[in-house]
Chains A and B, each alone.
Chain A
Amino acid sequence: MTTTPRRTVTHKPAVVGIVARARKLTSPAQLDAIALRAHRVWKSPIRGPWLTSVFGSMLLVGIPVMFITGLVSYAAYDPRLAGNDNTPQKGILGFYLFNWASNPSWIYRVSQGIHVTLGLVLIPIIVAKLWSVIPKLFEFPPVRSIAHALERISLILLVGGVGLEFATGVSDIEYFYPWKFDFYDVHFYGAWAFMSGFVIHVCVKLPLMIRSLRSRSLRKELATSLADTRPEAPADLVAIAPNPPTISRRGILGLTLGAAATVFLTTAGETIRIFHGIALLSPRGRREQKDANDFEVNITFDASNIDPVELGESWRLEVIGRRTVLLSRAQLLAMRQTTAELPIACVEGWSTVQTWTGVAIVDLARLVRARKDLDVLVVSLEKAGTPYRSATLAGNQAFNPAALLALKVNSEDISPDHGFPARIIVPGAPGVHCTKWVRQMTFLQA
Chain B
Amino acid sequence: MTIPPQSTEPDEEVPSTERTRPSRRAVFERRYGGGPGHLLSMIVGLSVAGYVVSILAGVGHRFEILLWVAGAIVAHDILLFPLYTAADAFAHWVHHPRGTTPPLVPWRNHVRAPLAISALLLAMTFPLVFRLSESSYHRATGLTTAIYASHWLIVSGALFVGSGLLYFLRYLFARSRANRSVPPTRP
Q: Do A and B share a complex?
A: yes
Q: Is the CB of A189 within 8 A of B56?
A: yes
Q: Specify which of A156, A189, A204, A251 is in contact with B59 (CB 8 Å cutoff).
A: A189
Q: Specify which of A124, A175, A186, A251 is in contact with B120 (CB 8 Å cutoff).
A: A124
Q: Is the CB of B133 within 8 A of A176?
A: yes
Q: Is the CB of B77 within 8 A of A88?
A: no
Q: Is the CB of A196 within 8 A of B121?
A: no
Q: Specify which of B45, B70, B77, B155 is in contact with A280 (CB 8 Å cutoff).
A: B155
Q: How far is the CA of A280 from the CA of B155 in the complex (A)?
A: 8
Q: How far is the CA of A147 from the CA of B42 in the complex (A)?
A: 8
Q: Is the CB of A196 within 8 A of B49?
A: yes
Q: How far is the CA of A285 from the CA of B112 in the complex (A)?
A: 28
B134-181 residues with Cβ-Cβ distance < 8 A to A are 136-143, 148, 151-152, 154-155, 159
Q: Is the CB of B142 within 8 A of A300?
A: yes
Q: Is the CB of B81 within 8 A of A131?
A: yes
Q: Is the CB of B73 within 8 A of A298?
A: no
B13 within 8 A of A: yes
**A interface: dominant SS:** helix
Give chain B residues whose Cβ lies under 8 Å from the Cβ of A21: 33
A72 within 8 A of B: no
Closest to B43 in A: A150
Q: Is the CB of A130 within 8 A of B76?
A: yes
A181-223 residues with Cβ-Cβ distance < 8 A to B are 181-182, 185-186, 189-190, 192-193, 196-197, 199-200, 203-204
Q: How far is the CA of A226 from the CA of B139 in the complex (A)?
A: 51
7 closest A-B pairs by beta carbon, nearest first, are: A163-B72, A145-B33, A147-B34, A176-B127, A147-B33, A200-B45, A203-B41
Q: List 6 A-B contacts (CB under 8 A).
A: A144-B33, A160-B69, A167-B68, A176-B128, A190-B56, A196-B49
Interfacial residues, chain A to chain B (CB-CB below 8 A): 5-6, 21, 88-91, 93, 120, 123-124, 127, 130-131, 134, 137, 144-148, 150-151, 153-154, 156-157, 159-164, 167-168, 170-171, 174-182, 185-186, 189-190, 192-193, 196-197, 199-200, 203-204, 226, 246-247, 251, 254-255, 258-259, 262-263, 266, 280-281, 283-285, 296-300, 302-303, 417
